[in-house]
Amino acid sequence: MSAFTGTARLVRLAIRRDRIQLPLWIAGTAVFVPIVVASVRDRFPTEADRVEILRSATESPALLVLRTAPTGASEGAMIMFSLLTYVAVLAGLMSTLAVVRHTRQNEETGRSEMVGATVVGRHAGLTAALVVVAGANLVLGGLIALALIGYGQPAAGSIGAGAGIAAVGIVFAGVAAVAAQITQSSRAANGIAAAVVGVAYVVRGLGDALGDRQPDGYTVVSAWPTWLSPIGWVTEMRQYEGDRWWVLVLPLVTFAASVGVAFALTVRRDVGMGMVPDRRGPARATPALLSPLGLAWRLQRGTLLGWTVAMVAYGAAVGSLSQTVQDALGENEGTADTIAKLAGGGNADLMDAFFAAMMAIYGAMAAGYVVQALMRPRSEEAGGPAEAVLATGTGRLTWLASHLAVAVGGAAVLLVAAGAATGLVDGLSSGGAGGKVLDMTGAALVQLPAALILAGFAVAVFGLLPRLAVGLAWAAFTVSLIVGQLGELLGLPQAVRDISPFTHVPAVPAASATALPLIALTAVAVALGAAGLALFRRRDLVL
Amino acid sequence: MTSAISVSGLVKTFGQTRALDGLDLSVDTGEVHGFLGPNGAGKSTTIRVLLGLLRADAGDASLLGGHPWRDAVELHRRLAYVPGDVNLWPNLTGGEAIDLFGALRGGLDKRRRAELIERFQLDPSKKARTYSKGNRQKVAVVAAFASDVELYVLDEPTSGLDPLMEAVFQEYVREVKREGRTVLLSSHIFSEVEALCDRVSIIRQGRTVESGTLTQLRHLTRTAISVETGQPITGLPEQAGVHDARVDGTRAKFDVDSHELDHLLRYLTRFEVRTLTSAPPSLEELFMRHYGDELRENGVKAEATVS
């Protein structure tokens, strides 16, 4: 028996388990191609239009951070500018989640112990996971390439785009394979792998923002940090603008190296154990833990800490960019349009419009945290300790409201932290730190009601349809995000954009904070949350 | 004698499945009541209805004089529950989980907690993630017995415990019974139920098929007799209540319905009984009799033992 015996069977098992999940991920990612192509054709039909928008874009480091460095004004290059980094992040998350699901999660639940006792080699589990995930990425890349060719784009660049996306997904599969060896819990492995995807996106963003603007005025050659990031490698392939195929060597070598590391770690540890052993803990509980709220806080605090670090870092980065943006805005009026559209504001002061756009991103992050936090009650209920807890003197309302309180309080903390970091860093570089901290904190907090709507929705679906709650809550978040934050850029009609809570948040500081929409949003959120609590109290536990 | 648990005509359906189909259960205050049935018979569903975790579709249930659904929180302060499948928080230690369950129930006896941890040989400073099934079970059992409550609801509490721990567990059940507390013990382990329970309810496909003291239930079943006589035994298989008779001259082995036992002994004496052994029916045989047809359908002999 070799170390790989049984791999084919495990591949079939993994495909069977993922027969719905992976196709949904692939379709949900590939669908960005038609959306973006339609939007580009609608809004920038001629090369002159594209040169104009890219000219202003290259003057906005914030936009380059979010997207990528433009490589040209052809329709294909414009599509890549609008699409590539987002799709790369999605491919990365699809891959890391799937690899952890088929490796560490199997070990954590004890499934791999049963499988490992059959005629299955030591490396078969990890190999099968990588085969399935690599296959999923190839399908995704193939779909993207075919779609782009179908829209009349040159074949070479289209295949380059598909191959690049598939390659980045495969690199992150390798990263997740290593992460799954390090920790004992799949939650932690997912966290590490997702953090690597996030860091890759930000590092690439820094490289693109720091890049050299070329003499033509609308293309940028990225600085060296971009080359450190797998997501940067996709964009550096320069699809439709030179098609640098050799860049593909980087992801393939990285993948091979990380898989080698993962295999080496596998043989150095026991099944079910991580490289980092669990430490012992206290034999007695502290009084702070001994209440439903204390328990909810204990279960949620790690997540909140991670988000706080990320949002303070992001807020500080935004604050530090403000001076650069101000200089860029002084040079060119054309940027105004782009930023104003992102911010959803009118003819406001451009710096305020820039900050308003950033506040919207903080709001989206806070909403993402809230959804993640409010899925915890569901995992406690489904095969978790909720059954035993709810058989004590803890009422259902108290139990669920404790998690809700941590989620809502946590969202407020995140917004305050991000806003204060923005104001502080901006103030330290341009003066007036005290006032700016207050202004930016207030502006960030204006986003809270939109996040509360998603909290209310998450509680409502938890009360009504517990089995579907996780999927529905994340779907609501994704739709709100796409429709609300990118709706104007994608040219969606107002009626569609209105379904997103983010559409209704005043673009502070570009616009003044009007009370009515905030009160209305909060009222809807409270109504949804109350309905969810009432429904949960009346239904059976779904274990 | 007052009733700690009283359930009649309980119905609970999950989609197409009728998990409880008119179940009755009555547990007196101060008794240890055995709750027996094979997997999927509805034991855990009944317990979850009694705990207000599930809502019954029909029937009446009362628990410690209250309504399991409406008065759930108040009732839960007066009972301790050990689920059949103990799930803990992977990143909390066993000790933290014990304190937490105790506090959520309204307090726990610290001296008793220490004693239980020692008796059950539990390491309370290990993270729950690293516990085996048996150790997770111990956490729930320790948390339950360290609480000062009137009723213990134990759903297969000893699954995963070794025989030494099983003995310790039985000791604590006897102790809480001496203190006048009530125990509902769902179990698969017949020796445990025979050793601990005053009364037993056997359920099958969501219905109660038998309920009573072990003596009463034994009355309903057969005694195994092995006899040796001075003269050849004749006519035995024709006697009322005799089953599976194997007669070999002056020796015979057979089962007899317990209510025909007296009549049968009189009949045997005419052959000059030399030795006679009788084995009273075990709970296991009782149980197998109720599920015998089900086992036969699956090609298993009714005499076979369940593991």
Three-class DSSP labels, A383-449: CCCHHHHHCCCCCHHHHHHHHHHHHHHHHHHHHHHHHHHHHHHHHHHHCCHHHHHHHHHHHHHCCHH
Q: Which residue is it, tokens 């914030």?
A: A62
Chain A, 121 to 140: residues with Cβ < 8 Å from chain B are none
Could you tell me how many helices (H) and strands (E) chain A has, helices first? Answer: 25, 2
* Whole-angstrom distance, CA of residue A334 vs CA of residue A55: 8
Tens digit of each residue's pLDDT (9 = 90 or more) over A357-395: 889 889 988 998 999 899 899 989 987 899 999 999 999
Q: How many CB atoms lie within 10 A of CB B299?
A: 6
Interface residue of B104, B137, B142 to substitute, partner A, most A CBs within 10 Å: B104
HSE-CB at B92 with a 13 A cutoff on CA atoms is: 26
Q: pLDDT tens, A119-146?
A: 888 889 999 999 999 999 999 999 999 9
Average pLDDT over residues A397-424: 96
Domain range summary for chain A, segments of one domain joined by +: 1-274, 289-543
Greater pLDDT, A16 or A199: A16
CB A434 within 8 A of CB A494: no
Question: What is the per-residue pLDDT for B306?
Answer: 38
Say if the ipTM goes beyond 0.90.
Answer: no
Question: Residue A384: its pLDDT value, please?
Answer: 84
The amino acid that residue B110 corresponds to is K
Mutate to test the interface with A, among B11, B57, B91, B123 (most CBs of A within 10 A): B91
Facing B73 at nearest CB: one of A295, A298, A395: A395
- pLDDT higher than 50, residue A353: yes
| Helix pair A75-102, A21-30: axis angle to 10 deg | 160
* CB–CB contact B88 A383 (8 Å): no
Which pLDDT score, from 0 to 100, does residue B296 have?
Answer: 67
**pLDDT under 50: residue ranges of chain B:** 302-307
Q: Is the pLDDT of residue A35 over 50?
A: yes
Q: How many CB atoms lie within 10 A of CB A286?
A: 11
Pairing between β-strand B182-187 and β-strand B151-155 as defined by DSSP bridges: parallel
Chain B residues in contact with A185 (beta carbon < 8 A):
90-91, 129
Q: How far apart are CA B126 and CA A281, in angstroms?
A: 6
B113–chain A Cβ distance below 8 A for any pair:
no
Give the residue from B243, B237, B307 showing the smallest Cα distance to B281: B243
pLDDT at A63 > cutoff 80: no
The answer to whether A278 faces chain B, any CB pair under 8 Å, is: yes
For chains A and B, CB pairs below 8 A equal: 103
Q: In which residue ranges of chain B is CATH 3.40.50.300 found? A: 3-212
Q: Are B86 and B43 in contact (CB under 8 A)?
A: no
- A 139-178 → B contacts, CB under 8 A: none
CATH of B3-212, one of 3.40.50.300, 3.30.70.270, 3.40.630.30, 3.90.470.20: 3.40.50.300
Greatest Cα-to-Cα distance within chain B, rounded to the nearest angstrom:
74
Check residue B307 and give its pLDDT. Answer: 36
Q: Which residues have a Cβ under 8 Å from the Cβ of A69 and sit 6 or more positions away?
A: A58, A207, A208, A211, A219, A220, A221, A222, A226, A235
What pLDDT does A340 receive? Answer: 59
C-beta separation of A501 from A349 below 8 A: no
The larger pLDDT score, comparing residue A268 to residue A62, is at A268
Instruction: For A412, list phi and psi in degrees, rounded to 5.
Output: -65, -45
Q: Among candidates A373, A378, A453, A441, which has minimal Cα distance to A413?
A: A441
Token pair belonging to A524 = 């809807």
Of A260, A8, A272, nearest in space to A124 by CA: A8
Q: What is the mean pLDDT of chain A?
A: 88
The answer to whether B96 touches A289, Cβ cutoff 8 Å, is yes
Longest dimension (CA), chain A: 71
- Closest CA relative to residue A451, chosen from A367, A512, A395: A367
Query: Do B43 and B207 form a contact (C-beta atoms < 8 A)?
Result: no
Cβ distance of A284 and B130 shorter than 8 Å: no
Residue A375 Cα, gap to closest chain B Cα (Å): 15
Q: How close does chain A come to B246, measured CA to CA in Å? A: 46
Contact B83 A290 (CB under 8 A): no
Report d(CA A509, CA A526) in Å as an integer: 26
Domain B222-280 coded CATH 3.30.310? no
Q: Is the CB of B197 inside 8 Å of chain A's CB atoms?
A: no
Give dist(CA A94, CA B70) in Å, integer. 44
Domain with CATH 3.30.70 in chain B: 222-280
CB-CB contact of B56 with B20 (8 Å): yes
**Stronger pLDDT, B307 or A423, i.e. the higher one:** A423
Question: Cα separation of A7 and A125, whole Å?
Answer: 7
CB contact under 8 A, A285 and B103: yes
- Which class for A287: exposed (0-12), middle (13-18), buried (19 or more C-beta within 10 A)? exposed
To the nearest whole angstrom, how far is the Cα of A315 from the nearest Cα of chain B? 31
Where do the DSSP E strands lie in A84-213?
Answer: 212-213
Helix (H, G, I), strand (E, B) or coil at B243: strand
Q: What is the C-alpha end-to-end distance of chain A, expressed in Å?
A: 40
Within 10 Å of residue B245's Cβ, how many Cβ atoms?
16
Structure tokens at A494: 């107002």
- The region that residue A217 occupies, defined by phi over 0 for left and psi between -120 and 50 for alpha, beta otherwise, is left
CA distance A289 to chain B (A): 7
Closest B-chain CA to A395: B73
**Residue B11: which H helix or E strand, with range?**
strand B3-14
Alpha-carbon distance A286 to B96, whole Å? 8
Note whether B237 contacts A: Cβ–Cβ < 8 A.
no
Q: What are phi and psi of A536, to 5 degrees?
A: -65, -35
Which of A279, A284, A392 lies at the smallest CB-CB distance from B76?
A392
How far apart, in whole angstroms, are the C-alpha atoms of residue A69 and residue A375? Answer: 36
In whole angstroms, give the CA distance from residue A524 to residue B16. Answer: 36
CB of A292 within 8 Å of a chain B CB? The answer is yes
- Residue A468 DSSP class: G
Query: pLDDT tens digits for A234-271?
Result: 999 999 999 999 999 999 999 999 999 999 998 888 77
Q: Which of A282, A387, A394 sits opposite B53 (nearest CB)?
A: A387
Check the CA dihedral B38-B42-B48-B50 and report its sign: negative
Give the DSSP letter of residue B251. Answer: E
Q: What is the pLDDT of residue B304?
A: 40
Q: What percent of chain A shows pLDDT beyond 70? A: 93
The pLDDT tens digits for B251-277 are 999 988 888 888 899 999 999 999 999
Please determine, for residue A187, whether its predicted confidence score (pLDDT) is greater than 90. Answer: no
Residue B226: phi and psi, rounded to 5, are -130, 125
Is B47 at the interface with chain A, CB within 8 A?
no
Contact residues on chain A for B48, CB-CB shorter than 8 A? 387, 541
Contact: B126, A280; criterion CB under 8 Å: yes
Q: Where are the beta strands (DSSP E) in B95-215?
A: 151-155, 182-187, 199-204, 207-213
Tell me if chain A has a CB within 8 Å of the CB of B76. yes
At residue A327, what are phi and psi to the nearest 5 degrees?
Answer: -60, -45
